[in-house]
Structure 1
């Protein structure tokens, strides 16, 4: 088999890149380890920056999002029952965010790919990337018990943190940065109406909580829990009871509860791999970086990677300008580190930490008071609210030189 771009991973990043390249007449094949139903079963975020909304329009897959998605002009932060609303539209020059589940984006992209007759090779096992430093890279894998070889000019590694793409780059050619947080998020998805029109990030003495949503009838809620907690320790009733204690009292009073559709505990980490490009291999999304979900940046950072790579490859194939390749990693990493910093800041401000002493010798109680004071400033100052709003809606995509 031959193609111009081999895309490793059939999640939203790989699908979006494939659709955008197809719109430019650039041939691509997706190689995915699992089946399509498994991909659709992944429960992920649903807050989209305007940059991602624009990309979905450009890819021709925005119709259902515009019909069923919910535009949010603000976001709320609750500090021990005191509610602060960040007016995104006011403080981010008219920008807002779109609430539309990642699963639905994936579904829309899958449908568009199938309608266009583009190849997605599901259940490909033992995938390996070869000769990525040469002008003739190729991918090998096993499908239906038979070995296959896919020749290409470029490889896009969209296969997540545990995928093969990042590991293809030699250890001495990449540097990894990581911060593991001492708690996780217990998430519950339910077919219940959201408790509030906009998201609520709640900081309490009992720990953090997030009231999110997927639609007008489906809600997603999270609780900060110790990493030692086990899923079987949390019944639905126990989750709802604890959530009510962490949400603002008036919101908790109107909370509609119901059986969980999905429930899971996810650890929180910050992770970045540098560089994001090695020869003719490009890392995209979770293959190169992970952010704690507090800032709603995971999918959005992946989308900005896709936007940059799409422009790079379009220039290469349309103009024959291979110099654009060297711009990919620096452009992406500038945005990645900004997103990592904002997510780290939001996580530090809104969560309770049980660690004893910071690396600089500051005890935990003192550090907590520093963070509480900083958060109070940002929430009561117009300048502070503007910073949060601009970061939350997402900075503009950087163009190629």
Structure 2
């Protein structure tokens, strides 16, 4: 093991430090981004990740970045490749039963845009930055347990390469996702959980074919919802709504392309370029929030604290806004001994989380087919679209939320 430029050690069981200032649980984009920001601010930190680096980089995730996410990645020094290869979108389209509406994000939201750049690419950029700075990211850390969270001296124990280790710290950042140990380390009587599970999923494929449009198309059809998205100018990501009991193995590529075309307006379907899928999966849809996002010296961020349905692309962006608030608080603590931002972390983060939950719930409710909708519900969905199509105020509200509410 070699020592990095700031004195931290590259990953490995023999290089496990006994102590750090901030221990980050989870080596996905939220954990790596927080680690990178803290390192640049002179705050020592260690990242524990239960999976291998190859596994983390193999995960296929969304890639529509809000303006605030783009800005924070640049602040972290990891925006160069995103700025070269990301696709800046100043608009988005909604199709409702073949009626088309393009929303001018830049014009409606004060010049704010979104950037299409895959989450896998964001993670790769963050890994490269952590490597360049000698950041400590310990992979395949098993049996992680968090201790003494309500004391001034929390610590974590874990197993790495068959050896048991302990790291003491000042604070723990739980960025380890919905199924991670962080939220489960908070006593049940200290948490309030809010959840809505939707009665359908998204069947999605990734394919090396040019996108059907230069901008995303969210389509609502009597057959259900569809989304035309992309990862680049030559790689497309498409989704259709499907029942939860569907099996990926029952969907050939030809069957998917035929179903997708049937969900789209005729002129869009005519432009669809098909090809073999690189990846195919079904994702269930859930809205979930855990309150509060802090317990003693443990702070939750990202999917550890909240889940949104992918409609509206808020998952990664919410994780980044959590990182923003937590980073501010930690830097204020170490630079000035000011704990006000840390004390308000949960309150500030949740205020933005619930607004994003509302927007994702609204988009999901308006654009999907629900088993219980009925004639009245169908009319309400049509009225929602009619209002959006005829009201500049409604369009401005949509653009503000889609491009990203301010921090």
TM tier relative to shorter chain: over 0.9
Alignment of 1:90-239 (within 5 A): 90-239=107-256
Q: Deviations over 1:321-364 (max 9, x none)?
A: 123321100000000000000000000000000026xxxxxxx3
Please report how far the alpha carbon of residue 140 of structure 1 lies from its aligned counterpart in structure 2 after TM superposition: 0.5
Give the Cα–Cα distance (whole angstroms) in 2 for the partners of residues 323 and 146 of structure 1.
39
Aligned pairs, how many?
390
RMSD: 0.8
Alignment of 1:302-321 (within 5 A): 302-321=319-338
Mapped contact 2:90–2:106 kept (Cα < 8 A):
yes
Indicate the residue corresponding to 2:394 in structure 1.
384
| Aligned: 1:52 with 2:69 | yes
Mapped contact 2:204–2:237 kept (Cα < 8 A):
yes
Alignment of 1:65-104 (within 5 A): 65-104=82-121
Q: Deviations over 1:61-111 (max 9, x none)?
A: 000000000100000001122211000011101111011000000000000
Choose from 27, 50, 60 the match for 1:33: 50
Secondary structure of the 1:293 match is coil
Give the Cα–Cα distance (whole angstroms) in 2 for the partners of residues 365 and 139 of structure 1.
54
Indicate the residue corresponding to 1:17 in structure 2.
34
Please report how far the alpha carbon of residue 365 of structure 1 lies from its aligned counterpart in structure 2 after TM superposition: 2.0
Runs of at least 4 residues of structure 1 off by over 3 A?
none
Give the Cα–Cα distance (whole angstroms) in 2 for the partners of residues 107 and 328 of structure 1.
28
Q: What stretches of structure 2 of length at least 5 have no aligned partner?
A: 1-17
Q: What stretches of structure 1 of length at least 5 have no aligned partner?
A: 357-363
**Under a length normalisation based on structure 2, what TM-score does the superposition of the two structures give?**
0.95
User: Which segment drifts farther, 244-253 or 220-229?
Assistant: 244-253
Indicate the residue corresponding to 1:395 in structure 2.
405
Give the Cα–Cα distance (whole angstroms) in 2 for the partners of residues 396 and 72 of structure 1.
18
Choose from 256, 260, 285 the match for 2:273: 256
Q: Deviations over 1:265-302 (max 9, x none)?
A: 01000000000000000000000000001011000000
Please report how far the alpha carbon of residue 380 of structure 1 lies from its aligned counterpart in structure 2 after TM superposition: 2.2
User: Which segment drifts farther, 119-128 or 323-332?
Assistant: 323-332
Give the Cα–Cα distance (whole angstroms) in 2 for the partners of residues 265 and 380 of structure 1.
34
Give the Cα–Cα distance (whole angstroms) in 1 for the partners of residues 358 and 306 of structure 2.
12
| Aligned: 1:271 with 2:288 | yes
Q: Deviations over 1:113-141 (max 9, x none)?
A: 01111110000000000001111000110
Please report how far the alpha carbon of residue 384 of structure 1 lies from its aligned counterpart in structure 2 after TM superposition: 1.2
**Under a length normalisation based on structure 1, what TM-score does the superposition of the two structures give?**
0.96
Indicate the residue corresponding to 1:298 in structure 2.
315
Q: Deviations over 1:182-202 (max 9, x none)?
A: 000001001111110000000
| Aligned: 1:283 with 2:300 | yes
Secondary structure of the 2:311 match is helix
Give the Cα–Cα distance (whole angstroms) in 1 for the partners of residues 186 and 386 of structure 2.
44
Give the Cα–Cα distance (whole angstroms) in 2 for the partners of residues 205 and 194 of structure 1.
23
Indicate the residue corresponding to 2:380 in structure 1.
370
